[in-house]
A and B are shown apart, each in its own frame.
Chain A
Amino acid sequence: MKYKLAVAVTLFLVVLTVPATQISWNSESNMVMSTVEINKTFGRRNYGNGDINNLLTDQKGVCKFTLPEKGEIEKLTIYGHFPYSGPAPPKIKGVIYSDSAGSPSTLLAVTEELSVSYSAVRLIDLPFASRITLEAGDYWLGIHHEEGAGGPPYYFYFCRMAVTHSLAIATDDYTDGPETSFGAITWANTEMCIYATYYITKTVGNMVTGHTVVNVLNSRAIRWQEKLCFAAGRIWVVYVENTRVLLTSSADDGVTWTTPEDLGCNITENLGEAIQIVANEDGTNRIHLLSTKVMQYRSGIANSDGTVTWTAAWTTVWLIGGNVQDGYMALDSEGYPYITQSFGGSIPTSVPYVNKSTTKNGVWTTASGYPQALAGVGYTNTFIVALSNRRMYAFYFSAPGALKGKLWSGWSWSAEETVSTSLIIQQYADGLESYSRGVVVDENDSIHVVFLEYGGPPYNNRGPFSYDVVYMKRGYLTGWEAERTIVADIPFKSACPAVALNEGFVRIFWLNDPINYIAYKRIDSEGYLGRTVYLVDETTDTFDNTYNYGYDGVLNPFAKLIGDKFGMVWMTKTSTPGTYAIKFGLQNFSYEYDTVDTREFEALKRSFRKKNNDASLDVTRLALSLGDRDATSGQYVLEYSIETVEMILIDKDHQRQALELGYLVQLDAIGYTSDVVRVYDRIQDGVGRTWLVKAVTPMFLGNVFKFYVCNLKEIVLYVE
């Protein structure tokens, strides 16, 4: 049994004895806070559509950027190259100048010198000898340049064109270093692709420490479709290794895992998108597996000992020829499986299809009239989600491309809907594929989608690229809302956004901004976007951001609600080169204590009941929650949910009993309970009295929660 934290605060009275680490006013109010160092950047990371430019000998050029917070600057990074070989390459130093009324003013820092030998286009780091601390504000970042001893050519940098008065250029003898004062400015209408890497000390919530599920040789073993589910009290993870499908499970919140079982499915590729697992949410513990390329299906009943009682052998449910893309499976609200798949004579001419089964007993029976085409040619990627009342929503697109979709109302497919105007990125060019999307449906049948936006190719298709995490919502009756950019300018294509829901929040996860972290933001029920929360720190093991049939697959985009916690799987490198770890992490976003001991409360209950003729301790809790806001007053409407809780309730007339327990009845009554009670809840006892909870004090011994003490005020004029 878990006990929830009732934060006992009113404007007038508070009695808190919770250890300080368990209460914070963080956006996640239960989190234990700690301090970490996080690297961030400011400047222009996104090259965009620009051009190549260069400085002349003894020139320096700087552009203005805003540092949003105090930070320790480690290095500048400029995107460019020296395209010619020769004996005397040019030299450059990075410089930072202060800002004065919109112009560069005073020299603040100079990086170490870099002699740029012949190089292809690339990001070039210009580190400072030691970190320099800058306050938030505007700064001018740039380079000081000297041509090679043999004369031109120069070092070339990339820039964004047509940015009025963006680049400030001044003549400055290179040999004696940059002048303290910037000097006479010549303006140019371009902006360098240059940025600074800085560090901040950040207070963060209790970051998830992932437990290793298994070490593998395949860095993309969990890519794309769902690889995680919860059934029979266990967490199940499926993955691909050596062209085999393997299944493992854990009964202890992911700390230890069973020896992986080869499921005997003959897949032909060694990538995670070859397999998907989903579980019924109806208590039957039925799990379903889809081998998404060869379209083989298998289902069985998951057992609490980690075994699966399979209903049938692998069965080919859909004979497909030609070029087959990665399929996707979902169960409708009654447990009937649907599959989407795209295929055709060639990849560019692929057609998205949907298929469904009329049985849900673990044996696939193709429904009459299926498979059906969802659209014409030109869509290589598909996925599908379930709404209530057997409704479904199918997505399709070609990467890079806009998302399209169709709603299955339970009896017919709707006309095509244009979901996004932005294009989803392409991860794997040969297949026009993208894996950077996640989707989830809430209790109101609103669909929440995230994807990584394709910003278009840089000049001459030379990077660096940067990407935005985009969120979209479809209200069941209101349709698709406008796109919202959740995170902008992530420098890695492997940002891999995921989306999940709990307690009324949409949480949007991504990785690699900052690099080697998984972070998230949440959107509340009123649409407000919260701050970034840094959730997983993988700066030790690090993510693999290299190409492996696509720059993606490090984080599986389906975070799963397991009980009242989130589970997710991701991959890191290990200390052994060429090997990778599949990791699982469980995050608690609710008000829950880790350590609970109710033995003292149980003793209190026995003692109290013994003195009171075994009286029932059941009382009715009217749990207050805040609903929508009243249009006139702007106040939140009170909503109460009713539940029965156990409480030792002692009114002032029987204070002696309370004193025996060591407490004073401060108001009209005192209540002891180990169940959740919060301030301003109402308590109705067995003799018709109604009490207002004025304060709640959780009692601890060390960090072990024992019970709550509630101060109660009688509502004399209580009206139902």
Chain B
Amino acid sequence: MSSSAEDPRYRTKVYLDTYLASSNLTDDDGLLNVKFIVCFDDPDYPVSRMFLDKFVDLVFSVGEPARTALLDYFGSIYGYEEKVPITFYAIDKEGITADKLKWKAEAELRRIVETYPVGSGSWRALEKGQGNDLKVESIIIRSTKWILRYKRNTA
């Protein structure tokens, strides 16, 4: 198994890339699919550069997970519970209201977790979602942060 496959962020990114449906992530009038990407948190560039330089409309950003070891009756570790933060970002553009797109993204995230709870051998559930809007002077980057929780074995 490659190291990247063991990375909970990578597992989650693959999960999102596999199931996110572009047809559910559209602009305000539903005529065009927005351009979205799934990536790890904390790139070496501002999120705004993705919006401006790469004309991305929606970013699903996968953060560093929190891990808790799961112990059996004898105190041996049989698995881990991992909580992976997923944050999505959008900004207002012509034809795209970021707040609307943020809710579409959230609905889509809920849909795939409800429809495909089993991914990569893990049972996934959304634990907590919280608004995470960033106000940058007069510009608001709409954002919501969710925690995706799942358990995995020690393999």
Contacts and interface: CB of A to CB of B under 8 A. Distances in A.
Nearest to A16: B137
B44 A634 contact: no
Contacts, number: 101
Nearest to B143: A11
A500 B37 CA distance: 27
B136 A531 contact: no
Interface stretch (B69-77, B78-86, B88-96): B88-96
A634 B95 contact: no
Nearest to A10: B46
A203 B94 contact: yes
Given A25-B93, A632-B4, A635-B40, A9 B52 contact: yes
A284 interface: no
B39 A635 contact: yes
With a 10 A CB-CB cut-off, give which of B38, B51, B93 has the most chain A CB atoms: B93
Given A9-B136, A27-B93, A68 B45 contact: no
Given A528-B55, A636-B43, A629 B32 contact: no
B45 A14 contact: no
B31 A14 contact: no
B29 A68 contact: yes
B54 interface: yes
A11 B55 contact: no
A638 B43 CA distance: 9
Given A68-B29, A624-B45, A629-B37, A634 B54 contact: no
A594 interface: no
Contacts of B35: 524, 526, 528
Contact of B55 (A10, A13, A524, A634): A524
A634 B38 contact: yes
A305 interface: no
B134 A626 contact: no
A26 B29 CA distance: 16
B139 interface: yes
Contact of B136 (A14, A529, A636): A14
B13 interface: yes
Nearest to B13: A634
Contact of A14 (B9, B92, B139): B139
B141 interface: yes
A618 to B, nearest CB: 25
Interface string B1-27: 000100101100100010000000001
Give the secondary structure class of A's interface: loop
Contacts of A14: 136-137, 139
A11 B37 contact: no
B55 A27 contact: yes
A530 B94 CA distance: 10
Nearest to A525: B54
B39 A626 contact: no
Interface string A57-68: 000000000001
Interface in A52-105: 68-69
Given A531-B32, A629-B39, A680 B136 contact: no
A521 to B, nearest CB: 10
A531 B94 CA distance: 8
With a 10 A CB-CB cut-off, give which of A528, A626, A634, A636 has the most chain B CB atoms: A634
Contacts of B55: 27, 524, 528, 530
A635 B43 contact: yes
B50 interface: yes
Contacts of B134: 11
B145 to A, nearest CB: 13
A69 B138 CA distance: 28
A559 interface: no
Contacts of A136: 29
A626 B49 contact: yes
B10 A68 contact: no
A24 B4 CA distance: 38
A638 B139 contact: no
A680 B7 CA distance: 28
With a 10 A CB-CB cut-off, give which of B31, B49, B134 has the most chain A CB atoms: B49
A238 interface: no
A29 interface: yes
B153 interface: no
B112 interface: no
Contact of A680 (B29, B49, B92): B49
Interface in A1-49: 7, 9-16, 24-27, 29
B48 interface: yes
Given A9-B52, A27-B93, A68 B46 contact: no
A633 interface: yes
B131 interface: no
Nearest to B38: A634
A524 B92 CA distance: 19
A625 interface: yes
B32 A636 contact: no
With a 10 A CB-CB cut-off, give which of B27, B35, B45, B138 has the most chain A CB atoms: B45
B147 to A, nearest CB: 19
A435 to B, nearest CB: 29
Nearest to A530: B55
Contacts of B43: 633, 635-636
B9 to A, nearest CB: 8
B2 to A, nearest CB: 9
Interface string A478-520: 0000000000000000000000000000000000000000000
A629 B141 CA distance: 22
A68 B31 contact: yes
B68 to A, nearest CB: 24
Given A9-B139, A14-B136, A624-B45, A634 B50 contact: no
A522 to B, nearest CB: 9
A385 interface: no
Nearest to B35: A528
Contacts of A626: 45, 49-50, 53-54
B30 A634 contact: no
Contacts of A15: 137
B139 to A, nearest CB: 7
Contacts of A27: 55, 93-94
A122 to B, nearest CB: 30
B91 A25 contact: yes
Contact of B47 (A11, A528, A624, A629): A11
Contacts of A13: 136
Nearest to A8: B48
B50 A636 contact: yes
B46 A680 contact: yes
Contacts of B138: 16
Contacts of B47: 11
Contacts of A625: 53
A464 to B, nearest CB: 23
A679 interface: yes
Nearest to B60: A634
Interface string B88-119: 00011111000000000000000000000000
9 contacts: A9-B52, A11-B46, A68-B29, A528-B35, A531-B27, A624-B49, A626-B45, A636-B39, A680-B44
Interface of A: 7, 9-16, 24-27, 29, 68-69, 136, 203, 524, 526, 528-531, 624-626, 629, 632-636, 638, 679-680
Interface of B: 4, 7, 9-10, 13, 17, 27, 29-32, 35, 37-40, 43-55, 62, 91-95, 134, 136-139, 141
Given A528-B35, A531-B94, 10 more contacts: A9-B46, A10-B48, A24-B94, A25-B94, A524-B54, A531-B27, A624-B49, A625-B53, A638-B45, A680-B49
What 7 A-B pairs come out closest when comparing CB atoms? A634-B39, A9-B48, A10-B46, A635-B43, A633-B40, A528-B35, A14-B136
